[in-house]
Amino acid sequence: MTKLVGDFLVERLRAWGVRRVFGYPGDGINGIMGALDRARGEPRF
């Protein structure tokens, strides 16, 4: 499976110890939302 930018971002957030992400889901962050969904809850949104 190809690594997407959103998946890379979630990996970095985990490496930095980020446990929760705050924001508004919307059209501009769908890739990140998908990566957070694939991460299965760590970090939490």
Ranges of each domain in the chain = 5-38
28, with CB counted inside 10 A (0-12, 13-18, 19+), is: exposed
Q: Determine the pLDDT at residue 27.
A: 79
Q: Determine the pLDDT at residue 29.
A: 87
CB atoms within 10 A of CB 7: 18
Q: Determine the pLDDT at residue 33.
A: 92
Phi, psi of 25 (to 5 degrees): -65, 140
Q: What is the pLDDT of residues 1-45, one digit of tens each?
A: 678 999 999 999 999 999 999 988 877 889 999 999 999 889 998
pTM of the model: 0.81
Report yes or no: 33 and 5 within 8 Å, Cβ to Cβ. Answer: no
